[in-house]
């Protein structure tokens, strides 16, 4: 152990973990398969159709009582669109809806690439099987109905839907479940990207999920972060978010091994940025410095200039503070690049949001389409943004950026590019 007198010298000569001798060679990271279920639909095709149709997927909440809430709507997935857990050898019919969402998304992924065997699984979520916790507490409170409580308790933890879903498809990879609030999905993809990029892993399964729950719905309502109106990201009369739900998964693989086995390649993740701003637990730093650092870092990792970005899928919750901070950062960093928020169509699916939006970015690259920012009426004069207002449109796009920011001051951005055939 070094003496205190030698501290400075030790620090000065200590190399970082990943630049020993400057020999680092990074791997390129391909997305070889993806699966999604969201209010836009089940699967990539339905999702793309809904994007093209500028579909508003927000509807009245029916799953729990919302009489006393300001907000009455959310982006929801009908249960009959989710994979039945009786399939794929999972005998339990008491699993959480979130498990069924994960299974639905995974089924599509493995239909695209059945030979993908991940060494690691990294998934983002915010609330796991929260509604089972609610069922349990309500049963306790009314002193009856507790016979189901062991199943509720067993299926409540956030890792459970992931482990059960991947087990149903014969996957036994260790699971890392990131709960970084609304940035969880993008953080999960970003960490998975880094694991493959570093050469430490060849194949990582990643994504995010969240199912709507009363506690979270009422929580955002109590903060007056959710709106009784339409969700209008970046609009000058925006009044807040609506909640959503869903799941999306991406199969990340070292590009060389993917090409060697002739895997279909949906896109390439080329950059990831993460920052933490310590301004406030629930509000972003109004300067936009946190989002800006995340976006700058993603560009730097990708070795790309801001001018090379063709489209930004913004976090865009439609809250006054988020959109102002994000809009400021985008305005400062980019020159009128087209921007839209998919939350205008499906609401904010929290831990799933970053993963669903990453899939939307892949579809945008594939279809050469700018996804719309619906419900948009008038520009915010404080923001100089090029909003893809109300209707999707065709465009030549090669590089897209996807942002996710969350409670706790966590900011994450990923950069995805189209790969030439």
- Scanning 88-231, the segments in alpha helix (DSSP H) are 97-112, 130-142, 149-155, 159-168, 184-197, 214-222
Our finding on whether 149 is near another protein (CB under 8 A) is yes
Residue of 45, 79, 87, 215 interacting with another protein (CB under 8 A): 215
Q: Is 145 in the site for another protein (CB under 8 A)?
A: no
315 is catalytic: yes
* 348 is a catalytic site residue: yes
273-312: contacts with another protein (CB under 8 A)? 274-278, 281-282, 293
309/365 Cα distance (integer angstroms): 12
**At a CB cut-off of 8 Å and minimum separation 6, what does 298 contact?**
271, 272, 273, 401, 413, 414, 415
Q: Smallest distance, Å, CB 37 to another protein?
A: 22
354-373 positions binding another protein, by CB under 8 A: none
List binders of another protein among 378-407 (CB under 8 A): 406-407
Question: Is 406 in contact with 270 (CB distance < 8 Å)?
Answer: no
Question: Minimum CB separation from another protein for residue 367, in Å?
Answer: 32
Known catalytic residue at 361: no
Residues within window 167-206 making contact with another protein, judged by CB under 8 A = 167, 172-181, 187, 191, 194-195, 197-198, 200
Residue 221 is a binding residue for another protein (CB under 8 A)? yes
Distance CA 234, CA 387 (A): 8
Q: Measured from the CB atom, is 14 or 420 closer to another protein?
A: 14
Active-site residue among 57, 96, 191, 315? 315
CA dihedral 246, 75, 78, 49 (to 10 degrees): -80
Q: How many CB atoms lie within 10 A of CB 81?
A: 16
Minimum distance from residue 404 beta carbon to another protein (Å): 13
Q: Under the criterion CB under 8 A, does residue 320 sit at the interface with another protein?
A: no
Give me the catalytic one of 57, 182, 195, 361.
182
Q: Does 17 bind another protein (CB under 8 A)?
A: yes
Cβ 335 to another protein shortest distance, Å: 27
Angle subtended by helix axes 353-367 and 43-52, to nearest 10: 70
- Which contiguous run of DSSP H or E holds residue 209? strand 203-210
């Amino acid at each position: 152990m070094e003496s205190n007198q030698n501290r400075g010298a030790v620090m000065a000569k200590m190399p970082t973990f990943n630049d020993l001798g400057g020999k680092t060679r990074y791997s390129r990271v391909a997305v070889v398969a993806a699966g999604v279920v969201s209010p836009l639909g089940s699967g990539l095709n339905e999702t793309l159709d809904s994007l093209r149709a500028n579909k508003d997927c927000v509807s009245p909440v029916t799953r729990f009582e919302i009489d006393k809430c300001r907000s009455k709507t959310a982006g929801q997935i009908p249960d009959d669109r989710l994979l039945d857990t009786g399939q794929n050898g999972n005998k339990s019919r008491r699993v959480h809806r979130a498990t069924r969402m994960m299974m639905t998304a995974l089924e599509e992924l493995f239909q695209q690439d059945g030979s993908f065997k991940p060494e690691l699984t990294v998934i983002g979520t915010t609330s796991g099987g929260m509604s089972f916790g609610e069922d349990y507490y309500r049963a306790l409170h009314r002193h009856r109905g507790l016979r189901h409580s062991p199943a509720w308790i067993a299926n409540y933890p956030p890792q459970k839907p992931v482990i059960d879903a991947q087990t149903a498809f014969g996957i036994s990879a260790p699971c890392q479940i990131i709960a970084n609030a609304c940035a969880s999905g993008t953080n999960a993809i970003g960490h998975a990207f880094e694991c493959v990029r570093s050469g430490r892993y060849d194949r990582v399964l990643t994504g995010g999920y969240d199912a709507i729950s009363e506690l979270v719905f009422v929580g955002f309502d109590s903060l007056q972060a959710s709106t009784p109106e339409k969700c209008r990201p970046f609009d000058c009369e925006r009044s807040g978010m609506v909640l959503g739900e869903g799941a999306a998964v991406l199969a990340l693989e070292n590009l060389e091994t993917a090409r060697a086995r002739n895997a279909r390649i949906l896109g390439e993740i080329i950059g990831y940025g993460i920052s933490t701003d310590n301004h406030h637990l629930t509000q972003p730093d109004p300067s936009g410095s946190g989002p800006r650092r995340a976006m700058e870092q993603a560009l730097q990792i990708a070795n790309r200039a801001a001018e090379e970005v063709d489209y930004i899928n913004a976090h865009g919750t439609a809250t006054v503070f988020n959109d102002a901070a994000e809009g400021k950062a985008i305005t400062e960093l980019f020159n009128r690049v087209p921007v839209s928020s998919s939350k205008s169509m499906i609401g904010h699916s929290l831990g799933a949001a970053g993963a669903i939006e990453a899939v939307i970015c892949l579809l945008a690259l594939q279809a050469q389409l700018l996804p719309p920012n619906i419900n948009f009426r008038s520009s915010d004069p404080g923001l100089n943004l090029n909003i893809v207002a109300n209707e999707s449109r065709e465009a030549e796009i090669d590089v897209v950026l996807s942002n996710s920011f969350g409670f706790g001051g966590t900011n994450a951005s990923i950069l995805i590019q189209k790969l030439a055939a």
